[in-house]
Amino acid sequence: MLICHGENGVAKYFKMKYTDGVNVISKNTLRVFYSIHPEAEAVLLEWYKVLSKVRCENFNQLKHFFPSADYVVKNKLELTVFNVGGNKYRVICGISYRTQTVFIKHVFRHREYDEWNKRG
């Protein structure tokens, strides 16, 4: 597998089976965010495209494609925080590696994420 990371922390080029990707729920969460913040549309759609084509068995494998992703526990929920668009946006997801399903919970600008993170 060849992986080259783009400037936004998202893998740009890779060799893999495209039919083996994960199910991402729900793209609408991204649409709502970039309808309010249109400058985020291109990087969020790029992130979505890459994420929907990868298949990872655990967080360590996911880090190969998204090196800036972080694993966090918030309110007893295991979440993955994706840094998208450099340091501009955070996409908060729940991931079931067993079922290969990603649940998009929140999309924030950096400052909004910091506020959300402080709430505990």
What is the token pair recorded at 44? 């969020």
Integer Cα distance of 69 and 115 in angstroms: 18
Output 2 or 89, whichever has higher pLDDT: 89
Asked if residue 14 has pLDDT above 60, the reply is no
- Which residue range(s) make up the domain with 92? 3-118
Answer for the pair 12, 5: CB distance below 8 angstroms, yes or no: yes
Domain count, the chain: 1
- One-character DSSP codes across 62-102: HHHH-TT-EEEEETTEEEEEEEETTTTEEEEEEEETTTTEE
Tens-digit pLDDT profile for residues 64-77: 999 999 999 988 89
Residue 119: its pLDDT value, please?
84
- One-character DSSP codes across 19-68: GGPPEEE-HHHHHHHHHH-GGGHHHHHHHHHHHTT---SSHHHHHHH-TT
Asked if residue 11 has pLDDT above 80, the reply is no
Look up the CATH number of the domain holding residue 88.
3.30.2310.20
